[in-house]
Structure 1
Amino acid sequence: MSAKALVNEFAKMRHLRIWLLTLILAVLVIGIGLYGSAMLGPDFDPSSAGAWNSVLSASGFTLAGPLLLAVIASRQVDIEHQGNGWLMSATSGLTSGGLCRAKLLALGLLVTTATITVSAALLAVGLLFGVTAPIPAGRWIGFTACIVVVNLVILALHIVLSTRFENQLVGIGIGLLGTVLALFGNEIPTWMAHLTPWGYYALSTAAEYQNGALVGLTPSYASILGLGVVAATVFILFTGRLDRQEV
């Protein structure tokens, strides 16, 4: 994969308004999170030791992330199906697998930036709400890193689906199903959450209600790391197979 391929993907993003979709993702995540956050409740105490748990629980990734990531990947890949871009790339020396890797890298940079920006924005919101307790920096960074990994895994999944199926409704439909699975991730046993990539949003949780009280949690770092390794391996194998196929 060359730098030119990466530049071309960013050029396609501008044409496809991927930047706008990513901005919508960030705004929705913050808005949905704040709407259901304990920070807006009358019992919120910004001076309490657990005040940051209210901010950490204000993440709307489980609702907004799965579908919007599916749409972003679909738009970036569908342009190749519509304009015979696979063949054009092959004639210029870039294999279909290399093109998929370029798309993941370009979109991944955008999604990672958006995820980190959302995390920083939630931190700023907590300060604006007057939270004076020490910031749990380690847990906050860990939570952000876990969400980045899960978002990238789901993005890679949808790049694969969009490449494999020309009908982009397949990927969008799976994105809708992923939204449902992500929403119920905290309500199912932990072993079941491990079975789908969307369940790892629940495993990334850094704060949740237990017995009526909002408590801080340590994200399941080992599980998230395992997900990332498995997903990277599958994506490399899939794109490697594309490298050996004729367009």
Structure 2
Amino acid sequence: MFQQEILFELNKVRALKAHYITFSGALAITVLATFSLWSGRSSEEVILATALLSSGFMSALIWPVMAAVLASRMVDIEFAHRGWLFLVTSGCSVRSIIGAKALVGMILLALSIALQAVFTFAICIALGATNIDGVRWVGFFILLWAITTVFFLFLMLAACAVESQIVVLLSGVVSAFVAVFCFLVSTPIFYFFPWAYYSLILPVRQWETTIIPNHVNLPAIAGFILVSILIWVVCLNKLRIWR
């Protein structure tokens, strides 16, 4: 039965052209993150580190908004065309519908962020980047996908709960600005702020005019993701579409 819900959601994503939204977001981040590299002022040894730092900052600015838009469009179609009623009367449960939306959205975000990683890496190689650390590069984008997925899942629940999608879109915009602010201040308290994880997953950081390696606290990040999933499941079980 769950396979049927996934097929429904895949068809809706194609109809909504939601993949264009996330793919365009990935391309926009790639362009913005690598724009300064074309000047040729960065040495070949730091091109990759510079691209990582810029990608982290631009991702924090754009991906929360993209996650909000994706969540809003995937849910709004149900409210606009009585999709909830149709799916429930056809034998699907609300939980399975939202679960299918979550899975499809996660896959779409994974493809988009993979596209961002490949394009950014290709540009860095074309510019003559050296000191290539594949583990650090792949690790950052996997964590970026995980953090963005957390935001997407909660924004999707909010979209289901409030019906007015402007609330979800504003939440995405505010989240982006808070996430960017967390890049400017460094404090251990940020481990309790979901928005700060866009900066905490970066394997590099800027110290004055130099880019230096940064320790990524994987246990803390894994703990945040696990707690977020548990909270999301609890909220999903308590969610009521009809009041």
TM-score by length of 2: 0.92
Q: Secondary structure at the match of 1:194?
A: helix
- Paired residue for 1:232? 229
Aligned length: 241
Where structure 2 has 5 or more consecutive residues not aligned to the other structure, the ranges are none
Deviations 1:129-172 (A, max 9, x none): 011x2311221121111101101001101101101111111111
Letter in 1 for 2:203: A
- Paired residue for 1:54? 50
Runs of 4+ in 1 over 6 A off after TM superposition: none
Q: Secondary structure at the match of 1:67?
A: helix
Change (3 A) 1:223 1:41: farther
Residue 213 of structure 1 deviates from its aligned partner by 0.6
Letter in 2 for 1:6: I
Residue 184 of structure 1 deviates from its aligned partner by 1.1
- Paired residue for 2:193? 196
Question: Structure 2: how far apart are the matches of 1:212 and 1:225?
Answer: 31
- Paired residue for 1:5? 5
**Structure with greater proportional helix content:** 2
- Any conservation in 2 of the 1:73–1:162 contact (CA below 8 Å)? yes
Q: What pairs up with 1:1-247 in 2 under 5 angstroms?
A: 2-35=2-35, 37=36, 39-46=37-44, 48=45, 50-59=46-55, 60-131=58-129, 133-242=130-239
- Any conservation in 2 of the 1:149–1:224 contact (CA below 8 Å)? no
Q: Secondary structure at the match of 2:151?
A: helix
Change (3 A) 1:63 1:246: closer
Change (3 A) 1:23 1:74: same
Deviations 1:79-128 (A, max 9, x none): 11112211221112211121111101001101011111211211111110
Residue 42 of structure 1 deviates from its aligned partner by 4.5
Bigger CA drift: 165-174 or 230-239?
A: 230-239
- Any conservation in 2 of the 1:30–1:58 contact (CA below 8 Å)? no
Question: Structure 2: how far apart are the matches of 1:228 and 1:203?
Answer: 13
Question: Structure 2: how far apart are the matches of 1:169 and 1:99?
Answer: 22
Residue 222 of structure 1 deviates from its aligned partner by 1.9
Letter in 2 for 1:125: I
Letter in 1 for 2:52: L
Question: Structure 2: how far apart are the matches of 1:216 and 1:92?
Answer: 54
Deviations 1:24-56 (A, max 9, x none): 111111122123x4x24453111x3x4421221
